[in-house]
Structure 1
Amino acid sequence: MRSEGNGWFDCAPERFWWQTPLIKLMKTAPMPKHIAFIMDGNRRYARSHCYSSVLDGHAKGFDQLTKILEWCRELCIKEVTVYAFSIENFNRAEEEVGGLMTLFENKLQRLFREKDKLIEKEISVRFFGDLSYLPTKVQKLVAQIELLTKDYKKSVINVCIAYTAQDEMKRAFTYISRGIQKGLLEENDINEYLISHCLDSRKSANPDLLIRTSGEKRLSDFLLWQCSNCYIHFDDVLWPDFDFWHLCKAVFGYQCNYSLIQILQVSSVAKLEAASGLGEFANERSRKSPVIKPSNPSPPPAVSQISTLFPKEIGELGKLPLLFLSDCFSCLSPKVQFVY
């Protein structure tokens, strides 16, 4: 664990002759557009291989993640979300938590240095979770990478770090509460559509397929709102051993259940569209919404008012609150515009 190890684009996965025809065959059926992974089993992998530290297992798990991301691109899976670190994981041994934070820092530094490849491949990297739990250096790297790649659409990688679904919901309702206190929202504006747009995943479609490795059959407080209608695949293999064949097996399970999943997802989308309505808030045209035009050289006081809804973060993170708030509240009415 002393060295930085492999980067995000270094671990080219081994290819077998049967992979190309298998990919072509699988693409004849509906493919998931968004896969979420609970990457479980790194510590057990380290112990089973008699590694000197469980951190070596986590490093091995990262190497496998880079291969999985490449396979997903080959399968034309546009978006991948990974559960990298739960808030509950901070309760682990101090040595392991500290080592993981160092590993995250090293890998994010490497990713930022490889930004030319991110730009070339048009990969957007987003981070879900309460970033205030993370060390200062990691927070800055997270902000730099997310701001650098925020406009790319070709591929999306969502990294859930210092995350739990319960904490995500708590933060979403905190933002909504602040919006009500500031007069940007009213209580009857609260519906499924607004809540969805105040979550960390506000820019993403819900996962079509959730995969958990290591044999555990639980969701561990991961994307509970977003995964309510997706296909869930549990695999006994430990994460560092999760290979192309395991991925195909999970995707095949999704394809076999596609009709039922579509019925559930269409019903869910219909509910959100009905809730977006755009509800009483959007139809209430007499209500004045703050309009802040980019061309306005002297933005009205609403800008400073909006910025108070979120605590000021360090460095580049100071730019993220307005980006977030713009997404949350502008979805309700075309009149609500923000600059940052």
Structure 2
Amino acid sequence: MAGATPGAARKGPRHVAIIMDGNGRWATMRGRPRLFGHHAGAKRVREIVEACPGQGVEYLTIFGFSTENWKRTQIEVAGLMSLFRRYIQKEARALKANNVRVRFIGDRPGLDRKLQALMDELEEMTEGCDGTNLTIALNYGGRDEVARATQRLAEDVAAGKLDPADVDEETLPRYLDTRVLPDPDLVIRTSGEARISNFLLWQSAYAEYEFIDTLWPDFTAAVFAGLIRNYAGRDRRYGGVKR
């Protein structure tokens, strides 16, 4: 599905991707450790997931931990890994009860085995859900994803499964982590930063962007709804012009 030619016009976004930034700053502003902000941000995820059906959003992809985040302090990284494990254990039943299908993207082998096992279990538990599709990017980087996809593609070429002459812009998406997902229509970044931070580089070629000042722990369902309305008012031409 990823990489497909944009389809018929639609008022609201089918797939929203969010770079959830500002947790650490939110905590620092309150005189608390950065991990306090990450815990507050994790709680906000549930509200946004639950808001998706009412906004017509079928797919939600959130950036949980990037391949570059390993550069943070050992204490913060360890705290984040513990938070991810706790989040999965705590939210699993609620996600299934709300008919949410969960997937994870990123370099999974780079994560600890316990976390990997929990990720596998949650994906299996929600496999039959057909409501909101929640994709969580953990140990994810857009360039890393493309490199891994290219390696798998090259292996198929070497094995004679793929003719190099048949490789085009529709081929690579079949090897990406997001191969079963539609491309994002709207990418949101919170906290006032105006960069994409190596997130869904290939998939976001035609996405609309919203860079907002709100820190992620303050990102409410009402703010989300406002951005959905903004998107609906945009004129998406995909390189064409109105006749």
Normalised by the size of structure 1, how large is the TM-score?
Answer: 0.65
1:40 is aligned to 2:17: no
1:149 matches 2:129: no
CA shift digits 1:207-247 (9 cap, x unpaired) = 11111000000000001111111110011010001113321
Distance 1:216 1:118 in 2: 30
Q: Report SS of the residue matched to 1:159.
A: strand
Match of residue 78, structure 1, among 58, 63, 72: 58
What do the CA deviations read for 1:168-215 (whole angstroms, capped 9, x no partner)? 000100110111122211211211212111111111111111110000
Residue pair 1:229, 1:265 contacting (<8 A) in 2 also: no
* 1:236 aligned residue (209, 213, 216): 213
Aligned ranges for residues 312-323 of structure 1 at < 5 Å? Answer: none
Q: Secondary structure at the match of 1:109?
A: helix
Structure-1 separation of matches of 2:171 and 2:41: 36
The C-alpha deviation readout for 1:39-63, integer Å capped at 9, x for no partner, is: 0000000000111x21110000011
Alignment coverage as a number of residue pairs: 232
What's 1:108 paired with? Answer: 88
Q: Which segments of 5 or more consecutive residues in structure 2 lack a partner in the other structure?
A: 1-9
Task: In structure 1, list runs of 5 or more residues that go unmatched.
Answer: 1-28, 268-340
Question: Which residue does 1:218 correspond to in 2?
Answer: 195
Aligned equivalent of 1:327: none
Task: State the AA in 1 paired with 2:238.
Answer: L
Pair 248,218 (structure 1): closer, same or farther in 2 beyond 3 Å: same
Equivalent position SS for 1:160 = strand
Q: Distance in 2 between matches of 1:231 and 1:148?
A: 32
- Structure 1 stretch displaced more, 119-128 or 61-70: 119-128
The CA distance in 1 between the partners of 2:164 and 2:76, in whole Å, is: 44
Aligned pairs (5 A) from 1:1-340 = 30-51=11-32, 53-112=33-92, 114=93, 117-257=94-234, 259=235, 261=236, 263-264=237-238
Task: Measure the CA separation in 2 of the matches of 1:266 and 1:174.
Answer: 34
Report the CA distance between 1:134 and its aligned residue.
Answer: 0.7
Give 3-state SS (helix, strand or coil) of 2:175's partner.
coil
Question: Which structure would you say has the larger RCO, counting Cα contacts within 8 Å and 6 or more residues apart?
Answer: 2
After superposition, give the CA deviation of every residue in 1:314-334 in whole Å (9 maximum; x if it has no partner).
Answer: xxxxxxxxxxxxxxxxxxxxx
Tell me the SS of whatever aligns to 1:185: coil
SS state at 2:56 partner: coil
Asked whether the 8 Å contact 1:214–1:237 carries over to 2, the reply is yes
**Aligned to 1:49, what secondary structure does the other structure show?**
coil
Instruction: Specify the code of the residue in structure 2 equivalent to 1:227.
Output: S
CA contact (8 A) 1:233 1:253 kept: no
Give CA-to-partner distance per residue, 1:256-312, whole Å, 9 cap, x none.
11x3x2x21899xxxxxxxxxxxxxxxxxxxxxxxxxxxxxxxxxxxxxxxxxxxxx
Larger Rg: 1
Separation in 2, partners of 1:80, 1:86: 17
Give the direction of change, closer, same or farther, for the CA distance of 1:44–1:214 in structure 2 (3 Å limit): same
Judged with a 3 Å threshold, the aligned counterparts in structure 2 of structure 1 residues 95 and 156 are, in CA distance, closer, same or farther, namely: same
CA contact (8 A) 2:55 2:225 kept: no
Q: Kindly indicate which of the two structures has a greater share of residues assigned to helix.
A: 1
For residues 90 and 109 of structure 1, the distance between their equivalents in structure 2, rounded to whole angstroms, comes to 23
The percent identity for this pair of structures is: 34
Give the alignment's Cα RMSD to 1 decimal: 1.8
Q: CA deviation at 1:132?
A: 1.3
Alignment partners' CA distance in 2, 1:176 and 1:209? 28
